[in-house]
Amino acid sequence: MLAGLSPQRRRLVVGILVVAMAAAVVGVFFAVRAAVPSAAVRQDQPGPVLMVPGLGGSTGGLDVLARRLEAGGRDVTVISLPGDGTGDLREQAQALDQAVDAALARTGAPSVDVVGYSAGGIVTRVWLADLGGADVARRILTLGSPHHGTQPATGSVRFERLSG
């Protein structure tokens, strides 16, 4: 394939291949790192479940699932988000963080399971990535969460890691 190319083009093709392979290795590293649960979080003992509602903050859609989990013996809290779930994602993630702290203190459990519905999944993602959620989250489940944006927001809004 490269034999018919000039030396400059061969170097260009080889350089592109090297960059692509390096990018793939870095991508795999971060994907594996994100998929591995924190060693500090015990996986054998389920703790309380916190449910995070979506945009608008309505908890009605989560109540059915919450009751089923409670019937199965789980401690469940459907949290209320500031601004009815329409405000700043960091403030909402901080509300989740406070609810997690309260649930852990109340139950004495070492970890929590979090269910984020719709935009509540994005709130959960901010909490996990930026507020230490990885240190106490045993399981995270997001339902219908727009992790890759939404049709109206394509090109103008995207999720980015929030920093201090």
| Percent of the chain as helix, strand, coil, to the nearest 5 | 50, 10, 40
Domain spans in the chain, listed from the N-terminal domain onward: 1-36, 49-143
pLDDT of residue 23: 56
Residue with tokens 């919450």: 66
* CATH level 3 topology of 49-143: Rossmann fold (3.40.50)
- pLDDT per residue as tens digits for the range 27-72: 544 444 454 444 568 788 889 999 999 988 777 889 999 999 999 9
Radius of gyration, CA atoms only, the chain: 21
